[in-house]
Amino acid sequence: MARKILTVAVLAALAVLPPVFYLTGNAFYLDLATRLVILGIAAVSLNLILGFGGMISFGHAAFVGLGAYAVGIPAYHWLYYTAGDWAVSGLAQIPIAVAVTALFALLTGLICLRTRGVYFIMITMAFAQMVYYLIVSIEEYGGDDGLVIDTRSQLPFLDLDDPLQLYGLAYVSLLVAMGLVAMIVKSRFGMVIQGAKGNDERMRTLGFNTYAYRLTAYVISGAMCGYAGALLGNFTTFISPEMMDWTRSGELMFMVILGGAGTVLGPVLGATVFIVLEEVLSSITIHWHLPFGLMLIAVVLFVRGGLMGLFAVLFGGRK
């Protein structure tokens, strides 16, 4: 019960506060909230496999980056070459982002999921780095320097150049992502991936091909991150390989753990606290990584179960 109230409160605050700030002349806060909500979607997707499936992916930033480039590259071809208007249509770009990341998840997942434990952590990280270097090596799309997205995704009924509408889309997408994950983890499929997290051998001797279930979850998670990436590209209008750096993947993982892995709201809380802290600390000192890193270590050492765990201790409720 307490948890439901918290969920509603957080989501209501995210629905109301940023637009109010924006309309009262504090556009900066809407920006912050947009980034937060988009990264929240990525964290929610990562949590599907990390928190519920026990697959510690250290490469999810690659999916975000690929999703962003799936918006940026067609737009670039539209601007400088002869690509048709479809190339700036969100109705083409977003499906491309989802399809490309799903395919990448499928291909890498086939190999990654053959491995266990620390191998999995490292190999997901390595594959993400592979994409990073691939993009760096393609000079056409800016290489290291990145790519400016001149034209945001064109969508019917929505104008993403309007910060409020972009935020609205991101917010609704977050709700959908949370709903999807909540639905999946409660379903028969979700029971299987959670069972495989708890005891893979047992699940296999029961008759579940856990590899196939894991792979499916991995692809869903990757595709959702790709979608978040498409939104992020539209938000920043500047994309670069830096988005896929392994430290970005680490940050996504930290959001999940900070908020509470294996809970639907946790990653959103984690993303919120992460982004706000980053903002506050970096406004105080340029060396904000120092207190931030110390905090990260402290959270791992002392806050088991993340913020959701802390909340449960304070206000009751499961987990």
**In the stretch 56-95, what mask flags binding to other proteins with x, by CB under 8 A?**
x-x-------------------------------------
Token pair 């737009």 is found at 75
**In the stretch 96-125, what mask flags binding to other proteins with x, by CB under 8 A?**
------------x--x--xxxxxx-xxx-x
Q: How far is the CB of 201 from other proteins (least distance, A)?
A: 6
Q: Which is nearer to other proteins, 27 or 122 (CB)?
A: 122
Site for other proteins, residues 14 to 53, rule: CB under 8 A? 50
Q: Which is nearer to other proteins, 17 or 313 (CB)?
A: 313
Q: Is residue 264 within 8 Å of residue 182, measured between CB atoms? A: yes
Q: How far is the CB of 275 from other proteins (least distance, A)?
A: 16
Select the residue interacting with other proteins from 134, 172, 276, 310 (CB under 8 A): 134
Q: How far is the CB of 105 from other proteins (least distance, A)?
A: 14
- At a CB cut-off of 8 Å and minimum separation 6, what does 176 contact? none
Which of the stretches 10-18, 39-47, 195-203, 275-283 binds other proteins when contact is defined by CB under 8 A?
195-203
Q: Which is nearer to other proteins, 103 or 158 (CB)?
A: 103
Which helix (H) or strand (E) segment holds residue 148: the answer is strand 147-148
Please report the sign of the dihedral spanned by the C-alpha atoms of residue 301, residue 47, residue 178, residue 275: positive
Distance in angstroms (rounded) separating the CA atoms of residues 94 and 223: 10
Which helix (H) or strand (E) segment holds residue 290: the answer is helix 289-302
Residue 1, CA distances (Å) to 4, 5, 175, 259 in order: 5, 6, 19, 18
265's tokens:
């709201």
Alpha-carbon dihedral of residues 279, 284, 287, 290, nearest 10 degrees?
-70
Backbone angles phi, psi at 269, to 5 degrees: -60, -45
Is residue 194 near other proteins by the rule CB under 8 A?
A: yes
Site for other proteins, residues 219 to 278, rule: CB under 8 A? 245-247, 250, 253-254, 257
Select the residue interacting with other proteins from 38, 71, 87, 136 (CB under 8 A): 136
Residue 98: strand, helix, or coil:
helix
Q: Which is nearer to other proteins, 24 or 284 (CB)?
A: 284
Which of the stretches 41-49, 71-79, 90-98, 299-307 binds other proteins when contact is defined by CB under 8 A?
299-307
Backbone angles phi, psi at 260, to 5 degrees: 130, 105
Distance in angstroms (rounded) separating the CA atoms of residues 310 and 288: 25
Is residue 300 near other proteins by the rule CB under 8 A?
A: yes
Distance in angstroms (rounded) separating the CA atoms of residues 202 and 204: 5
Q: How far is the CB of 44 from other proteins (least distance, A)?
A: 16
- At a CB cut-off of 8 Å and minimum separation 6, what does 104 contact? 62, 63, 66, 131, 222
Q: Site residues (CB under 8 A) for other proteins? A: 50, 56, 58, 108, 111, 114-119, 121-123, 125-127, 129-130, 133-134, 136-138, 183-184, 186-192, 194-195, 198-199, 201-210, 213, 216, 245-247, 250, 253-254, 257, 287, 289-290, 292-297, 299-301
